[in-house]
Amino acid sequence: MGPNNKVILLRLISLISLITYTECASNYTFSSDFLLGTATSSYQIEGAWNESGKGGNIWDFITHNTPEYVYDESNGDIACDSYHKYEEDVALLKELGVDFYRFSVSWSRIYPNGYPYNPNAEGIAYYNNLIDALLAQNITPMLTMYHWDLPQRLQELGGWTNSYMVQLFTEYARTLLENYSDRIKYWITINEPYQICNQGYGEIAYAPALGMSGRADYLCAHNLLKSHAEVYHLFNDTYRSKNNATMGITLSASWYEPGSSEEEEAAERARQFRIGLYANPIFSTNGDYPQVMKDYIGNQSSAQGLSKSRLPQFTSDEIEYIKGTSDFFGLNHYTSRLTRNSPASNNSVSFDNDLQTEQWFDSSWPMDAAGRNAIVPWGFRKLLAWIKNTYNSPVIHVTENGCPDFGELEDNVRVSYYGSYLEALLEAINEDYVDVQSYAAWSLMDNFEWRYGYVYRYGLYYVNMTDPNRPRIAKSSAAFYQDVIANRVVGSYPSLS
């Protein structure tokens, strides 16, 4: 199937949600110290893939070598051209009135082949300029060190399955801390370990698309958690005081609702495998992987004739070293799923066979305008309460939330999505006393949506990807969000049915 047919197919399988124009409005308000912002990431917006000394990363590699990996056979060579247009981006942020902007640094712009010798001065300068432009407009920068664009040469060493990554990532992080900690208050080490490891090493949904489920995903998780912890300790010991800053990790989490009253245990197991895998070692009182994962993977491994579990073990020193290494829980949330038990179908090695559940969208839930995710604001509220109760009320920064469509300027479904999710957030804060301190809409503008190329659009601003100037045009959702930020309340929005 050619790229055009694939795009048409994606559009056909989307079910356009029915919208009734009941007006909704909440009475809760965002306090003056609550931060409202937007988020992006380097590979998805910057372009300039081979300019100013940048080296190749795993997304350059996969899109250039197997263009058919991406639905529309596009890539991030130019993307939104933010490498050249960052001043225009800052002007958009100013127009929205955001309190903060979350962006990520491209590792191979700083260290072209990943090794920490001679940082590329032009790469260092680009983020200096971006940070200074934000501060000049009173916009607080939130910096993510790693948002999926690993230098390709490090992938050739095995990427995150190689324990040497702990040292390499720490040295890269040290350079960012050295250069930017005089101006950064919010640091995020790593964005979405689940997508990196389970979907990039275990499955093929993201680069490097290894498809070694039940093996490479656990090795990746193990090294990634150690890398995060080492960087946190470096920050905590040496850099925190420079700007009274905080540092955390961002985890992706859907809400897993039991498919029936008998399935609470299955739903909780899914939460532990998909969220607890990364959250338990860092945020729980005892540290280490969730007990249910150790039990299930250990049993599956021994049934498969292995003398040791496929889930690596932390030493007790490592457990202590990783525990508590996040000042906040960075949360990326998009949707919810129903869950039920589904016994391992055969003896094959995979994360799903270890977890032994299946998940799906309830047919009564409204879908986003691209037909990708269900819109379930109450699931967001339940997830926030679950994080509070499971991990001793951490400070939470919602570092991504949003929904896709195909790039409509009058994006009413997105307006409804933001309206209903922001109300659920206010209820979690005011009725469940969850300590959420910021919220970032994903995304500032349409950008390269990984395997979905430029088909799925998440922006508050539309970007014309066939115009060499990449003009940005405000959608209806930009005006809606601008109003939320200006008035600190969720304005009326069309309700979904």
Ligand X SMILES: *[C@@H]1O[C@H](CO)[C@@H](O)[C@H](O)[C@H]1NC(C)=O
Residue of 268, 400, 423, 427 marked catalytic: 400
- Which residue matches tokens 């795993």? 58
SS3 276: helix
- Which of 153, 143, 150, 275 has the alpha carbon at shortest distance from 201? 150
Give the binding range for ligand X (CB under 6 A) out of 197-205, 343-351, 358-366, 396-404.
Answer: 343-351
Token pair recorded at residue 371: 């037909």
Decide if residue 178 touches ligand X (CB under 6 A): yes
Exactly one of 117, 315, 317, 467 binds ligand X (CB under 6 A); that residue is 467
How far apart (Å, rounded) are the C-alpha atoms in residues 463 and 46? 13
Shortest Å distance, C-beta 467 to ligand X? 4
Decide if residue 31 touches ligand X (CB under 6 A): no
CB contact burial 425-449 (16+ within 10 A = b; e otherwise): bbbbbeeeebebbbbbbbbbbbbbb
Shortest Å distance, C-beta 323 to ligand X? 7
Beta pairing partners, 255: 336
Decide if residue 299 touches ligand X (CB under 6 A): yes
Exactly one of 26, 57, 82, 359 binds ligand X (CB under 6 A); that residue is 26
Beta pairing partners, 473: 462
How far apart (Å, rounded) are the C-alpha atoms in residues 241 and 182? 10
Decide if residue 50 touches ligand X (CB under 6 A): yes
Token pair recorded at residue 481: 């969000």
Using CB under 6 A as the binding criterion, the count of chain residues that bind ligand X stands at 26
Chain residues 119-158 in contact with ligand X, contact rule CB under 6 A = 119, 124
Exactly one of 244, 261, 285, 307 binds ligand X (CB under 6 A); that residue is 244
Residue of 192, 268, 423, 427 marked catalytic: 192
CB contact burial 363-385 (16+ within 10 A = b; e otherwise): eebbbbbbbbbbbbbebbbbbbb
AA letter at 193: P
Decide if residue 497 touches ligand X (CB under 6 A): no
In terms of DSSP bridges, do strands 357-360 and 336-341 run parallel, antiparallel, or are they unpaired?
A: antiparallel
Q: Is 192 a catalytic residue?
A: yes
Q: Is 400 a catalytic residue?
A: yes
Exactly one of 66, 113, 304, 348 binds ligand X (CB under 6 A); that residue is 348
Exactly one of 43, 296, 380, 439 binds ligand X (CB under 6 A); that residue is 296
How far apart (Å, rounded) are the C-alpha atoms in residues 37 and 138? 12
Decide if residue 291 touches ligand X (CB under 6 A): no
Exactly one of 152, 309, 325, 339 binds ligand X (CB under 6 A); that residue is 325
| Residues marked as catalytic | 192, 400
Site residues for ligand X per CB under 6 A: 26-27, 50, 77, 119, 124, 175, 178-179, 236, 244, 246, 295-296, 299, 324-325, 345-346, 348, 350, 352-353, 464, 466-467
